[in-house]
Amino acid sequence: MDHAIQALACAIFFFFFLTGMFITFWVFRCRKPVSTTTTTTTTTTELSSITVVDQIASFDPNLEFSMTELRVATKDFSPEFIIGGGSFGTVYKANLSNGVTVAIKRLNPDAFKGFREFWTEMVTLGMLRHPNVVKILGYCMTSSDRLLIYEFFENGSLDQLLHLEQNQEAATLSWGTRIQIVKGVANGLSFLHSLDKPIAHQNIKSRNVFLDSDFQAHITDFGVARGIDNSTSYASTQSADTMGYCYMPPEFMEGLTSATLEADVYSFGILMFEIATGKRPNLPSLLDGKEVGIVEWARIFLAQDKYMQIVDASILGEDGLIVAHVKEYLEIASMCTSEIRRERPTMAKVLRLLNPIPM
C-alpha cells in the first residue's frame, strides 16, 4: 500500500472509532437510550476525503428532531430564517414542533477546514455542561449537509450589542450588565481551564459570547478549542492562526503557536477592555496624534489614574458606576493583558478578583 492509501485507511478507521466512542459515551451518560437516532443509510458519501454515513443525534434526551423537521422548520433553509453567518457557514433560527427555538449552524460543505471544526465543536461541546458555555443540542450529518443545533439566544452576540450599527437604536448595556457579562465569561473560562484535561478555547472575542434573555453570557465557537496537556501546559496542536488578530497575545505574534490557557486569559483581558470602553479592539485609538492599540491606550490613562476617561461615554453618569470599582475592573484587565505570559493570573484568580465588584 502506498502512503496515500494508508493515510486514507487510517482516517476512515479514526473517524468510525471516534464516532463509536462518542455515541457510546452519550448512551452511558444518559443511562437510557439517548434520543440518538443514528440513521445509517445505505448511501455513503465522499466528504472532504473521508467517508461519511448519514446520521442525526440529539444530545438532549428531552429533545428529538429529524432532518425532515429541521427542513420543515426552516422552509428548506430559506433565506428568511437566516440570522447570521460566519466563516464556516450560515446560521438559521428555527421553531421546532415541540415549541423549542433553536439556532442551526449549517456548515459550508466545501471547506475541509469546516469538517475539522465540525468534529471539534461537536466532540468538545457535546461533553460540556456549564451555565456559561453554549449548549449544543445535537447534530445532523447527511451526504450534503453538516448541521450543528444549538440553544437559541434572544440577545444575539455581545459584539452586536456593544457595537451597534449607526442606524440601530441605542440599547446601551448598563455598567451592571457589563459586569454580569464579564463575570459570566470568566466563570465559563475558569470552568474550561479547571477540567481534568483543561480546554483552551483559543478564540475568545465578543463575537463568540452570546447573551440570553437575562443577559447571561454563554461562550460559543469551540471549533478551534484544544485540550491542554497538564504536564506541558500547552497543546501540541497549533491553533493560533485562527484567533482574532486583535485578541492575540504578543507571544503568538513572536512565533508561538501552541494553544495555552494564558492566551485565553490575554484574550479575556482584551474583551474586558472592549466591554468597559465600548471600543472595537481592532480599531486603533489616536493618542497625541499617534495610533495605539486598546491595551496601550487604556494603560496610559490608568497610569495617570484617569479611570473614568476610559469608560464608554454612553454609561458615564450611571448611578452604579463607582470610580473604585472601575479602577479594580481595569486593573484586572491590565493584569490579564500582561505582555509576560507567566505574569497573567489564572481564570480562577480572575474570578476571585472580579467577585467583589457589584453588578
Ligand X SMILES: Nc1ncnc2c1ncn2[C@@H]1O[C@H](COP(=O)(O)OP(=O)(O)OP(=O)(O)O)[C@@H](O)[C@H]1O
Contact set with ligand X (CB under 6 A): 83-88, 91, 103, 105, 150, 152-153, 156-157, 160, 207-208, 210, 220-221
- Of 66 and 87, which has the nearer Cβ to ligand X? 87
- Of 108 and 233, which has the nearer Cβ to ligand X? 108
Which of 49-52's residues contact partners 24+ apart within 8 Å by CB, and which partners?
Answer: 49/8, 49/11, 49/112, 50/11, 50/12, 50/15, 50/115, 51/12, 51/15, 52/141, 52/143
Q: How far is the CB of 129 from ligand X (least distance, A)?
A: 16
Nearest-5° angle of CA 18, CA 239, CA 102?
A: 60
DSSP state of 216: -
CB 47 within 8 A of CB 115: yes
Q: How far is the CB of 153 from ligand X (least distance, A)?
A: 4
CB 102 within 8 A of CB 40: no
- CA–CA gap between residue 83 and residue 149 (Å, rounded): 14
Q: How far is the CB of 85 from ligand X (least distance, A)?
A: 6
- CA–CA gap between residue 209 and residue 183 (Å, rounded): 12
The label of the residue with cell 434573555 reads 213
Q: How far is the CB of 359 from ligand X (least distance, A)?
A: 23
- Of 25 and 81, which has the nearer Cβ to ligand X? 81
- Of 159 and 328, which has the nearer Cβ to ligand X? 159
Q: How far is the CB of 90 from ligand X (least distance, A)?
A: 8
- Of 103 and 271, which has the nearer Cβ to ligand X? 103
Neighbours of 205 (CB within 10 A): 22
Q: How far is the CB of 126 from ligand X (least distance, A)?
A: 15
126-144 as b/e, with b when 16 or more CB fall inside 10 Å? Answer: bebeeebbbbbbbbbbbee
- CA–CA gap between residue 258 and residue 113 (Å, rounded): 18
- Of 65 and 210, which has the nearer Cβ to ligand X? 210
Q: How far is the CB of 220 from ligand X (least distance, A)?
A: 6
- Of 221 and 262, which has the nearer Cβ to ligand X? 221
CB 34 within 8 A of CB 27: yes
Q: How far is the CB of 282 from ligand X (least distance, A)?
A: 13
- Of 153 and 175, which has the nearer Cβ to ligand X? 153
- CA–CA gap between residue 126 and residue 134 (Å, rounded): 10
